[in-house]
Amino acid sequence: MTARRPRLWPRGLGARLTVTLLALAALSLVAFGAAGTLLLRHWLTDEVDQRLTSLGGVPGEELPPRPEPGQPPPFPTDLRTFALDAEGEVRRVVGRTADDDSLPDLSGWSPTELRARAGEPFTAPSTVGDGSWRVLTGLAPDGGVRVVAQSLADVESTLGRLLLIETVVGLAALAALGAGAVATVRLQLRPLREIERTAQAIAGGELDRRVPDQDPATETGRLGAALNTMLAELAQALRERDASAETTRRFVADASHELRTPLSSIVGFAALYRQGRRQGVVVEDARTERWMSRIEEEAERMGSMVDHLLILSRFDETPHLQPSDVELGELAELVVQSARVRAPDSRIELRVPEPVFAVADRERVRQVLENLVGNALTHGPPGTPVWVAVERTDRPPAPGPAVVGALPPGVAEVAVITVRDAGPGIAGDELPRLFDRFYRASAPRGRGGAGLGLAISAAFVAAHDGYLTVSSTVGRGSVFTVVLPLG
């Protein structure tokens, strides 16, 4: 596992604004200091050049005489005047003392080059240490080179002190600017934090919470007003949606309940017809027989749909479970045995490596398994094999393309029930809507149901704090997976 790289750029808006402001201020201070230092260096160098020009005298003028023996040594000075003969050797120096015998190092220039640069000041390194000199050359009467130089040690010292002052003052200014920026940014972002807290409260269920009123002349004030307007409209839409959903639920429940009576009557009249035919009261007729069979099939199908609607509507209204200790492997075995009786031509296998106990509603979980196994048998060709497996694991399987429900945080172990078939499979664009109510995927054999079985199964699994997911490939079957928490 690779180590996570530290984040160099802050994520918060306030921190980003503060860092950006300080970075711009630092760049400005650096640019200002560099410009000031360069200008000061140029100005001090110009002063040195003017002094050298004034001391250089008229071209061809003799150098000051060498001090006589016995005279006191000259005062320390940063000026040097000396001559170079035609071979470039120093023959006379004025201004050097025993304590400071440094000179400009002109070994890198030939006498010819020095004569060519006569009257043009330039910088040369020192013979002692790492200092530098400003040098002005002139022509000597004997064909040599007359040199006047001044040390730039004072200039470098002045620039060094300036750099130190700029650094100290710049850091102090950045610290003060940073404190002011943090305070200002926090103050200016306070309305956004109010909006953030309001949004979190609304997400937590306080739908009537609103952003506090602010100055409408500011951007945050206008944003808060717009959000309040939007929240009011959303709250109204949610109330209307809830009212409509409640009305629809009641209508479905009432309609389903009322439909049971006429459906029972239809089935009863069909049974009465068959009884009369067996007793000879009704004349046997092949066409009438086909019609009555069709009536019975449709009545049974509609009765199943009504029963499913009643289950969903009642569960939506009062989604209560009756949990108890359930051995899921035993429950799956009962469902498989029942499915083998209904579909004797299909191979239905069950794999339970070990007993898996869970606290769940036995009847609801059994209905989920019956729906999944029944779908695998109904929507596949005759003889389609079906495999059912029940196991426990501490690694829940990853949800497939379609999933309903979610595990609560902190679940250490889960029960996994898989129902896999070798049927025709389901198209990928149909998977996301597979658990929607009344949605029926394309059935190759024309045996599509009412579109409520998977919706009921998903609702029951989600009520157990688990999830139901499906993955499928056309031509290679489908896999429905039920994941229930065990602890």
> Domain boundary at 151, 169, 190, which?
151
> Domain boundary at 105, 124, 151, which?
151
Q: Does some domain include residue 182?
A: no
Predicted pLDDT of residue 60: 44
Q: Do 246 and 333 sit in the same domain of this protein?
A: no
Other C-beta atoms within 10 Å of 83: how many?
Answer: 19
**How far is residue 260's CA from residue 299's CA, in Å, rounded to a whole number?**
10
Predicted pLDDT of residue 327: 92
Q: Do 309 and 400 sit in the same domain of this protein?
A: no
Q: Does some domain include residue 406?
A: yes
Q: Report the CATH number that the domain containing residue 418 is assigned in CATH.
A: 3.30.565.10
Q: Do 362 and 458 sit in the same domain of this protein?
A: yes
Predicted pLDDT of residue 336: 92
Q: Which residues, in sequence order, are bridge partners of residue 274?
A: none
Q: Report the CATH number that the domain containing residue 263 is assigned in CATH.
A: 1.10.287
Cβ neighbors of 347 (< 8 A, separation 6 or more) are 383, 385, 386
Paired tokens of 36? 């000031």
Q: Does some domain include residue 163?
A: no
Instruction: Tell me the pTM.
Output: 0.47
Q: Do 231 and 358 sit in the same domain of this protein?
A: no
- Indicate the SS3 state at residue 14: helix
Helix (H) or strand (E) holding 347: none
> Domain boundary at 116, 151, 186, which?
151
Q: Do 281 and 407 sit in the same domain of this protein?
A: no
Q: Do 252 and 376 sit in the same domain of this protein?
A: no
Q: Mean pLDDT by 10-residue block, N- to C-terminus, for the chain (487 residues)? A: 53 79 89 90 89 67 51 66 78 76 83 84 86 86 82 88 90 89 82 80 78 78 83 81 68 60 70 72 72 74 65 64 88 91 88 91 88 85 88 87 85 91 84 75 53 78 89 87 87
Other C-beta atoms within 10 Å of 160: how many?
Answer: 11
CA distances 213 to 41, 188, 227, 305, Å, are 58, 15, 11, 52
Q: Which residues, in sequence order, are bridge partners of residue 327?
A: 357
Predicted pLDDT of residue 318: 62
Exposure letters 23-35 (e unless 16+ CB within 10 A, then b): eebbeebeeebee
Q: Do 360 and 291 sit in the same domain of this protein?
A: no
Q: Do 457 and 383 sit in the same domain of this protein?
A: yes
Q: Computed from CA positions of residues 436, 437, 439, 444, in that sequence, does the dihedral angle turn out positive or negative?
A: positive
Q: Does some domain include residue 7?
A: no
Q: Do 339 and 297 sit in the same domain of this protein?
A: no
E strand residue ranges, 321-400: 323-327, 348-351, 357-361, 386-393
Q: Does some domain include residue 161?
A: no
Q: Does some domain include residue 51?
A: no
Predicted pLDDT of residue 100: 75
The residue type of 108 is G
Predicted pLDDT of residue 1: 42
**How far is residue 102's CA from residue 311's CA, in Å, rounded to a whole number?**
106
Helices of type H across 204-327: 219-278, 286-317
Predicted pLDDT of residue 453: 75
Q: Does some domain include residue 69?
A: no
Number of helices (H), then strands (E), belonging to the chain: the values are 8, 13
Which range marks the domain in which residue 412 is found?
A: 321-485
Task: Tell me how many domains the chain contains.
Answer: 3
